[in-house]
Structure 1
Amino acid sequence: MLSKSEIISSCFTLNSAYSYLSELPADATSTQTLAKNNSIALLDEDKNIIDAVAWGSSTDPFVENIPFPQNPAENQSLGRKTNIEGDYIDTDNNSQDFELQGPTPINSQGERGNVQPPYPVPDFQVATSTDNTVILTWSTTTDPDTPNEEISYILYWSKDKEITEDNLTTATSTTTTTATLTLSDLYYDSTYYFGIRAFDRLNYSSLATTSYSIPLPKITDLNAGTSAVREAIDLFWTAPGAESYLIKYAEKEIVKNSTSTDKISWGEATLVENSIVPKSWGETESFSVENLTPNKTYYFAVKSISEKNATSEIGGVMSISQLYWAGSRSLFVAWSLARTEKLCSPSNNS
């Protein structure tokens, strides 16, 4: 107990068993022990006890009824409860009148210290992705006790290993003051785990996490050949190790998104139902697209879906033009739009 010490009205006295960092100017300082045997008593000038609080395993006489059962941990304070009107509760029972709170020191000038960590980072997600590049976004956060403090963000990521509070030091990390981060050249066909914490120059927020599966590389060698089926075309490509495929066609060039009149978005192109059992990586896949109409130009595109259910970018877009049949003979010109080269003209099905 601080004997012969005066606590000025509207000031706060800090009791902490830990190293305390704060830029808050104190009203008074002392090297004496504030609390002894887990209890504090306030006395008047005649040494009469005005108020008292005890906690943990305290056996000190400075206690009202039953001690508060817990010892405050680091960055915790023992504070008196308030009722719905905001008035302090005082029933002369420490176990019922107090609760664990975050430290909120305020000096007699009304200045507050930077004690509490920033609020957790909200809305942390992979907003967009292209191939093996992802863009992480989040909403900004603030510090509850220093709301004007500039907040920075520490981001962590790891391939195939979840981010937790225990492995942050082994994860790849970077710091930014913006609310977006682009990560490129990630490994294909891999799941990445991401984490983020806000930092107010003294304290870190709790960890927010998200994850994302990078797809297989897009197919780049889509080719066409004659089919044994009339009014059909056989498509060929090298297997990337997929779990399944999405195959689409249209009478315009198929792109990811389009507002052009001579192109069509992937979502608007016609899906070709398929039950392909994918071959092993490096082998040749084949699929026949049937019921095509002669004398039309068709565009084909393929996406792969990995075992992690990640869908690749559009790959191997190609066009078939001058398509018609003469008996068993199919004639067409095929162009790979990815490589801008003629693939075959004409073809013979005999």
Structure 2
Amino acid sequence: MIADAPPPVGTPVPAESLARAASRARSTSAVAVVFGDDIPMFEASVPARVFGGAAGHPDMPRFDVLAVAGEPAPLRTSAGITLDPPHGLDALESAGIVIVPGWREPGRGEPPSAELLDGLVTAHRDGATVVGLCLGAFVLAAAGLLDGRRATTHWAHAATLAHDHPEVRVDPDVLYVDEGSVVTSAGSAAGIDACLHLLRRGHGPAAANAVARALVVAPHRAGGQTQYIERPVPTPRTGDALAAAVEFALANLADVDLDVDAMAGRAHMSRRTFDRRFRAHVGSSPLQWLLGQRVLRARQLLESSDLGVEAVAGLAGFSDGVALRPHFRRLVGVSPQAYRATFASR
């Protein structure tokens, strides 16, 4: 379903529509949280914890968090726990913020109902900020609210969102995307980041910092979800010239002289032919693939060893740490030091 376009400028507004809009005056302190069947428990709890996580703190405004049944109640979470939200979809008519904190995995169960999608579209049209956390982005996409907009979701389902909704500009690398009246977040804990951002945007950093302290989380995390994406080293097919070149490169990543020409020679092809065939089979240039594998090797070493950045750079095939850092930050989103601080084995 696609969200309706606004009427042309100058189109008369019927009196009954004005009366209806007046009766639905939206409260900036009302946060409607829409639950569906099979929702994960963690995602379900995030909005209530953020918008009610520092109640009574002098820097924290008071919010009325409304638990809304987006499908016939009672609902069951993915952990089998029963939820019985006290509010129906009519609660969306007064909320200034409407959040879908998660949803069941794509392809599981029934699609979101027309009533829910209509409620989200109407809330957005009436001025509410509509938010999709994690897989909640799929519900917003089904409502047409992400058409032509940049959005994100859990990295493991970003490709599915892009495939199912090609009109959405999916960014799989960030923790959240703020498109003004529409906000989406990456997976699970990134919902906290998005909700803290909404709190910061609407009420200033003091309110967001108060909640972050109460939840014992960072008020703002560096980087995006790129640093959390698992990219295992591919296993090449045997008996193929390209596979032989890939296998050769993976075995010799520490060799700073390893380059695309060396890979082409291993495949017994000219550089031009190798480049063309590699792009056709892998989907990226051999140079970008090689840089990606070297950064991946650096990530693995930063996670599993105590080697300094210079040593890690050398073992990953970079001349030094200076050569490693810009490629690492571009592909991972944070510096090597920040990545190690987050992921190193203790």
Q: What band does the TM-score fall into relative to the shorter chain? A: under 0.3
The structure with higher relative contact order (CA 8 Å, sep 6+) is 2
Structure that is richer in helix per residue: 2
TM-score of the two chains, using structure 1 as the length reference:
0.22
